[in-house]
Amino acid sequence: MKTENFVLNGMMGLVVGDALGVPVEFMIREELKADPVIDMRNYGTHEQPKGTWSDDSSMAIATMDSLCQGVNYEDMMKKFCEWVLYGEYTPYGDVFDIGISTRKAILNYGKGIEPLQCGGKTEGDNGNGSLMRILPFALYVCGKYNNLCSIEENKAMNMVHKVSCLTHAHPRSQIGCGFYTRFLASILQNKGQNSLLDIMKESAKCTFKHYEQGIYAKVMTEELKAYERLHEIESFAGLSEDNIHSTGYVVHTLEAAIWCFITTNNYKDCVLKAVNLGEDTDTIGAVAGGLAGCYYGYENIPKDWLAVIKKREWIEELCNKMQMQIEKERV
């Protein structure tokens, strides 16, 4: 892996994508076709100034802050509580958006339930709340273990699943986080060497193989069917927009983010395509933006968009701090 600040690339890609989608969250696709997002907007759905990021970034930043001291699931949950109760990790000290399953999990922790037992385990608990915040942890394991191959793979993926379980413990949500982590690992290892489509094709193939074999075979194989459309990335890339869903369901969010990423060729077009799908615009923008940020780099995120991001300097300081922690722990 190149010695670049991949934490800065990915996290700022996520935050900018999130902020781009906040003003149009819940708008339907037809509305956005009539008035598409082409730049950062003021106000809108949540009546927030341009550059305001939401719960997606808040929870990802809280996770990143925790990782600056290494992996501690208890500390992650404490920081999620600080976000909900005291407005920490927010642009202005207020929480204006939080998912149902995430709220329940944080309430469970407040009742004294162990962190890894807090997340919902039912089929209805498969929102995108763990996928939207997994990026910093995915980057942590990618960086620490350098790659996710051979002996370290199961260990790293098991850690990813545990971080999902803090709020979303159903196997389908865990798999979604696993896919995203493997895609990021492949991007970091192979960009500049192989085409984007080839990177994603090989990563999807390896991820399916990972879940179909070994320790995951019995538990995950049935749930893996939900992600079947990702089995053939080239065919998936050829789908029309009408076949891409943009709801808060974890599978829809992951598919939409990947589709936007593999059908564009720069950061700006990727996140604009993502938010203009409508519905859960901030999360799809964040998830797609994280991939695109890692692939295209911080320098290719529009400077005028970065300029309006609230608490940008603080976020970037945390990115640098986490990058240093990864370098210190690298195996």
Query: What distance in Å separates the CA atoms of residue 128 and residue 248, rounded to the nearest whole number?
Result: 6
pTM value is 0.96
**Segments forming the whole domain that contains residue 246:** 6-329
Amino acid identity of 17? Answer: G
324 domain residue, yes or no = yes
**Terminal alpha carbon distance of the chain:** 13
Query: What distance in Å separates the CA atoms of residue 210 and residue 157, rounded to the nearest whole number?
Result: 10
Number of separate domains in the chain: 1
Residue ranges of E strands in 145-264: none
Task: List the one residue out of 277, 304, 303, 273 whose CA is nearest residue 289.
Answer: 273
SS3 137: helix
Query: What distance in Å separates the CA atoms of residue 8 and residue 21, rounded to the nearest whole number?
Result: 20
Q: What is the pLDDT along the chain (331 residues), one digit of tens a residue?
A: 446 899 999 999 999 999 999 999 999 999 999 999 999 999 999 999 999 999 999 999 999 999 999 999 999 999 999 999 999 999 999 999 899 999 999 999 999 999 999 999 999 999 999 999 999 999 999 998 875 554 467 889 999 999 999 999 999 999 999 999 999 999 999 988 999 999 999 999 999 998 988 677 777 888 999 999 999 999 999 999 999 999 999 999 999 999 999 999 999 999 999 999 999 999 999 999 999 999 999 999 999 999 999 999 999 999 999 999 999 988 6
Please return the burial class of 166, using the count of CB atoms within 10 Å of its CB with bins 0-12, 13-18 and 19+.
buried
Q: Taking the alpha carbons of 103, 138, 301, 246 in that order, is the dihedral positive or negative?
A: negative
131 domain residue, yes or no = yes
60 domain residue, yes or no = yes
Query: Could you tell me if 275 and 27 are in contact, meaning their C-beta atoms sit under 8 angstroms apart?
Result: no
Question: Tokens at residue 231, please?
Answer: 């089995």
85 domain residue, yes or no = yes
1 domain residue, yes or no = no
Query: What distance in Å separates the CA atoms of residue 209 and residue 234, rounded to the nearest whole number?
Result: 18
Residue ranges of E strands in 63-214: none
Query: Residue 170: its pLDDT value, please?
Result: 97
Condensed to tens digits (0 to 9), the pLDDT of residues 263-320 reads 999 999 999 999 999 999 999 999 999 999 999 999 999 999 999 999 999 999 999 9
Query: Could you tell me if 267 and 293 are in contact, meaning their C-beta atoms sit under 8 angstroms apart?
Result: yes
Sequence-separated (6 or more) residues with CB below 8 Å from residue 3: none
Element (H, E) at 265: none
Beta carbons within 10 angstroms of residue 190's beta carbon:
17
CATH of the domain at 41: 1.10.4080.10
Query: What distance in Å separates the CA atoms of residue 18 and residue 21, rounded to the nearest whole number?
Result: 5
β-partners of residue 68 are 70
264 domain residue, yes or no = yes
Question: Tokens at residue 184, please?
Answer: 């990021």
Query: Residue 1: its pLDDT value, please?
Result: 43
Query: Residue 213: its pLDDT value, please?
Result: 82
SS3 10: helix
Query: Could you tell me if 207 and 236 are in contact, meaning their C-beta atoms sit under 8 angstroms apart?
Result: no
Helices (H) and strands (E) counted in the chain, each on its own, are 16, 0
92 domain residue, yes or no = yes
Query: What distance in Å separates the CA atoms of residue 13 and residue 292, rounded to the nearest whole number?
Result: 7
